Amino acid sequence: MVAKDQKDRPGWGPETNAACDPAELPAACAAAQGWEAWTDRDGARVPVSRLESSTGAEHCGWQSVRFLTLGGRTYVRDPEGVLARDGLLSAPYRKQVRMPAGARDTGYHYRDRHLWLTEDRDTAYVRTSSGVEAWPRAAREVACK
């Protein structure tokens, strides 16, 4: 958005900007940009600003890694131990686990993945058609160099 003649800014100039959340875009368009739009239990798409997941960057060799960010926490599916070797995870990724008794279904799902959390939110439990996986929380910010 632009405005004309602001204090100390004569003429036309930028005033503010805005962007759509990728979950508001058509699914094919969002997917083409690498966004995975989850849905809630009613089938409504969840804003990427609230819940986001994506695969790791190829140029860092992280293609086998999947990230899921919810509520300021990032959980990591790292089946090949790529990030675990660098101490970036709070615990190891586990491919087959029993769902903890205290876990609750968040209602969020993406394809065949259903997200469950326990009260401490240290691990994301992802139920798939193959079973339950335990995705540990990232111990610190994960950034590809």
Higher pLDDT, 129 or 145: 129
| Mean per-residue pLDDT, 7-17 | 68
Give the model's confidence band at 123: pLDDT under 50 very low, under 70 low, under 90 confident, else very high: very high
Q: Above pLDDT 90, what percent of the chain?
A: 54
State residue 30's pLDDT score.
Answer: 76
Q: Where are the alpha helices (DSSP H) in the chain?
A: 27-32
Render pLDDT for 51-67 as a digit per residue (tens, 0 to 9): 999 898 899 889 999 99
Q: What is the pLDDT of residue 135?
A: 97
Q: With 70 as the cut, is the pLDDT of residue 72 above it?
A: yes
At 6, the amino acid letter reads: Q
pLDDT per residue over 81-95, tens digit each? 988 877 888 899 999
Greatest alpha-carbon pair distance for the chain in Å reads 64
pLDDT band at 9 (very low <50, low <70, confident <90, very high): low
Q: Are 37 and 22 spatial neighbours (Cβ–Cβ below 8 Å)?
A: yes
Q: Any residues with CB less than 8 A from the CB of 109 and at least 6 apart, and which?
A: 38, 39, 41, 115
Q: Read off the pTM.
A: 0.82
Q: Residue 14: what residue type?
A: P
Distance between CA atoms of 100 and 117, rounded to whole angstroms?
Answer: 9
